Structure 1
């Protein structure tokens, strides 16, 4: 069985949801005056182009950062102001992350021809922040189309060699810039000389962002001088993730929590053993080179007409690393990233499909190396004639730092020996377990997996028990968060329900609901279930808007009961509720519940049905917010995969709950709207995501492909799974179909 899709590392759902809340509160707080302040700030730092003007629509959101675009009255190139997003970027190391990126941009601009944007200003210290009170980089705005999107659009074949040769030239240039250790670059302000500070990797950032109370007191205070010191640090961080991430071993059918914990423990133990293999051992004698796991087409722009790469950006997690990392081939030239393939169980398919793409890239690199070799020979001949022996040796070392093997050859060897996947595990703790079981588990010395020592087995059993306790701790925290967020969602609905009650027809519908309930339960039970339950909540509203009281009382009530309560609310009380519980809780509720996409699309279908394409519907706002939440890719991830969207397939037909005949008095226009909805639903693609896709980071940088193309058998099985889920909901859909407004449907969905 392919277990890779069950072993993706899920970061703490509560932390991610709270971070998303923090980000949304910050985003909601940005007003027009903030943009004016930023315009003045940019004008003060770029003094030769006239007043700066914020470009309408000029906001770009990445996984961790937001970029604002500004133009100038007197012309000149546009400027980008980049800052970390509160809640989506680890606050304790945000300033360090920004400073590192600015330093690497300046370093690349000085030492290479890679087209990185020019940095005009960078502020990370108190008193030197942007008007948003955040660290910032002020740099050139990068023109062009996103290269990853361009490659996915099937560009003209004649442009591919041009594009690949440019990317290859970037790798070659970085390959030839040596460092004396491991870390991030920093320039001495007095001498202008470059040196190394401690490294900050994407894994380090992710651990702080996604693991509750993650310890950083043992992080290095300076750079590493050898590969062994850095490797020991990586082992330590992966071990801390294994033992501190509360929901790491959440059950995922067909595996139990104990099964997953056992697989993870064994994978980490044996992955570390592989570091002693000759093919995978890190050496100091090859030196150190700049390495960035995000140096790929999604962080580049291109001129679509010529294929010229115009910009390279997002260098915040670049570090000088053991040179072996720089000898690995790029893994991001295909429409699906390896992390996505691991998350979905299609890694074997990825290996097969990626090989010809990689060969085309390495052929382009080889052609470039041949051209450079001719130029090098001419330069060597000139130096030999001049007997400049010292310069001659320096040139040889610069051009061939690993002996005579060209970089393209070294990269082919890395792919062949699977060293690239061992290094992938070192640099991607999110997928170290999955990559071990997918590729590396049969690569032990002699091809034999050694028996686990007795003491290791004892330690593994102890870890399994600890993992179960951690999962329970996380679930308790998540339940508490969900209760609060569910209360916020229902109270948001309640504030709209109060307005809905003002409509006589809605009042009649509500009365009809209670009369039907009364007939089913009897008047005494109705009084007990509704009136008595409502009383404490009504008292809470009348007394004051208090978070704990609201959350306690509202969780006991259904949406209809809350709507019934709202009849007695004054407009002032409704406004108080609106202020206290913000619309962002709609998204938080959906995220924290970790609803699978198939279920989420069912939610959208029903909300869409009750909205009836009516922009004035009080539930339209809820639907729009929920739909936006389901599609957003600019936030950190919350559920079980740090990576992104899976393949899509189309589901024909529509659920029974969306098909009905017009009621008496219903307009033909409404009937037509429902018919349009039917057509739209038949075309609706169901994204088979395993989580709410908050990306990281990553979420925004991955792209769906056709599931049918990936695996037609699995596509069919996923359709069958969806229909099985739908049939299981039939008891619920009967009630939903009979509803005339959105309240009963939302009640069913929110229970």
Structure 2
């Protein structure tokens, strides 16, 4: 696997971690191979958001609801009923709105996903604020074309030969037509480990210090592939759009919207102060979100219900 070459051999860490001493040319070559795959997917345009199929003539069509890896895990582990979006979508706004609504539903219905009243208030506020900022992060191509996107496309599912060329890409089951910005966001896997995990461990400043140099290497490799294939550099080129997703932080909003398990860490550490300005604490921001009596009342009713659910859970039943 490509990840075997990229990762640091450290048995003390159960997570894959990019080797900080990896040869720069090896890294650029492997990033370039991944960029080639993403560039090929970028060239495919689809008319709706959803799962793909073939009609009787063999033509690719979008005719089913989007079934993503994250949503599948949500159904499998949280005890919820089938909660996948029930239809195809014609706009990015509609689809992303449905994902944000699903995050609120998940918080409401899963009984053991808060630790105490403070944690509950923070998670409640996070979901309200994600909805409030959503339109700031959805680009002009809201109505398409949409792009083929695979949740599991990462070095851990890519086979390479001895010359570091890709010979196979595995695990395409969670592939669907997605909002253009999903495919146009900087890949999360540049450090192998998921961003929310690194942010949680090291903090946002250390995360950016590690991530941004690797992002520049990847974007240089992608731009080189674009030039080789005769693409002109324009506002719609993949490398330009990915760089913009870093500059305007839309990459982190996009990741938080379709990786629901990561939303709290990504929002509070990478988006909140960027969108709303400095805060003295998360608790201060939570208070600001619910200043009106009606909003405060709704929040506290929600908190009381979640704590009641929490108290009813048998001791030791925290898996899921």
Q: TM-score range by the shorter chain?
A: 0.7 to 0.9
CA distance in 1, matches of 2:132, 2:23: 46
In the alignment, structure 1 residue 151 sits paired with structure 2 residue 151? no
In structure 1, the residue corresponding to 2:111 is in which secondary structure?
coil
User: RMSD in angstroms over aligned alpha carbons?
Assistant: 2.5
CA distance in 2, matches of 1:316, 1:282: 29
Q: Please point out which of 70, 74, 77 is paired with 1:210.
A: 77
Unaligned runs of 5+ in 1: 1-145, 251-256, 377-398, 482-591, 593-637, 640-751
Alpha-carbon shift at residue 405 of structure 1 (Å): 3.9
CA distance in 2, matches of 1:370, 1:156: 24
CA distance in 2, matches of 1:293, 1:406: 21
- Cα pair 1:228 1:282 within 8 Å, conserved: no
In structure 1, the residue corresponding to 2:57 is in which secondary structure?
coil
- Cα pair 2:2 2:30 within 8 Å, conserved: no
In structure 2, the residue corresponding to 1:276 is in which secondary structure?
helix
Q: How does 1:117-516 map to 2 (within 5 A)?
A: 146-153=1-8, 156-188=23-55, 190-196=56-62, 197-212=64-79, 214-216=80-82, 219-220=85-86, 222-250=87-115, 257-277=116-136, 279-280=137-138, 283-303=141-161, 305-373=162-230, 404-444=235-275, 451-452=289-290, 453-474=292-313, 476=314, 478-479=315-316
Alpha-carbon shift at residue 225 of structure 1 (Å): 1.8
Alpha-carbon shift at residue 331 of structure 1 (Å): 1.6
Alpha-carbon shift at residue 269 of structure 1 (Å): 0.5
Q: How does 1:26-175 map to 2 (within 5 A)?
A: 146-153=1-8, 156-175=23-42
- Cα pair 2:83 2:102 within 8 Å, conserved: no
- Cα pair 1:362 1:408 within 8 Å, conserved: yes
Render the CA deviation track for 1:155-188: whole Å, top value 9, x for unaligned.
Answer: 5443333222111111111111000000111122
Give the 3 Å change call, closer, same or farther, for CA 194–431 of structure 1 in structure 2: same
CA distance in 2, matches of 1:332, 1:272: 25
Render the CA deviation track for 1:363-387: whole Å, top value 9, x for unaligned.
Answer: 11111222222xx6xxxxxxxxxxx
CA distance in 2, matches of 1:151, 1:217: 36
TM-score, normalising length: structure 2: 0.85
- Cα pair 1:289 1:320 within 8 Å, conserved: yes
CA distance in 2, matches of 1:404, 1:269: 32
CA distance in 2, matches of 1:260, 1:217: 24
CA distance in 2, matches of 1:357, 1:327: 17
CA distance in 2, matches of 1:155, 1:447: 37
Render the CA deviation track for 1:231-266: whole Å, top value 9, x for unaligned.
Answer: 23212211111101111112xxxxxx0110011111
CA distance in 1, matches of 2:146, 2:93: 13
- Equivalent in the alignment of 1:143: none
CA distance in 2, matches of 1:335, 1:227: 27
Q: How does 1:466-615 map to 2 (within 5 A)?
A: 466-474=305-313, 476=314, 478-479=315-316
CA distance in 1, matches of 2:276, 2:60: 41
Unaligned runs of 5+ in 2: 9-20, 280-284
CA distance in 2, matches of 1:470, 1:281: 39
Task: From the CA coordinates, give the structure whose radius of gyration is larger.
Answer: 1
- Equivalent in the alignment of 2:18: none
Render the CA deviation track for 1:421-473: whole Å, top value 9, x for unaligned.
Answer: 00011011101111111011123367797643332211111111111112122
In structure 2, the residue corresponding to 1:306 is in which secondary structure?
coil
The structure with higher relative contact order (CA 8 Å, sep 6+) is: 2
Q: How does 1:611-650 map to 2 (within 5 A)?
A: 638=319
Alpha-carbon shift at residue 280 of structure 1 (Å): 4.1
CA distance in 1, matches of 2:196, 2:289: 29
CA distance in 2, matches of 1:292, 1:329: 14
In structure 1, the residue corresponding to 2:101 is in which secondary structure?
helix
Alpha-carbon shift at residue 152 of structure 1 (Å): 1.7
Count of paired positions: 299
CA distance in 1, matches of 2:83, 2:112: 23
CA distance in 1, matches of 2:250, 2:102: 21
Give the 3 Å change call, closer, same or farther, for CA 432–281 of structure 1 in structure 2: farther
In structure 1, the residue corresponding to 2:189 is in which secondary structure?
coil
TM-score, normalising length: structure 1: 0.38
Give the 3 Å change call, closer, same or farther, for CA 404–443 of structure 1 in structure 2: closer
In structure 2, the residue corresponding to 1:275 is in which secondary structure?
helix
- Cα pair 2:92 2:142 within 8 Å, conserved: yes
Alpha-carbon shift at residue 415 of structure 1 (Å): 0.6
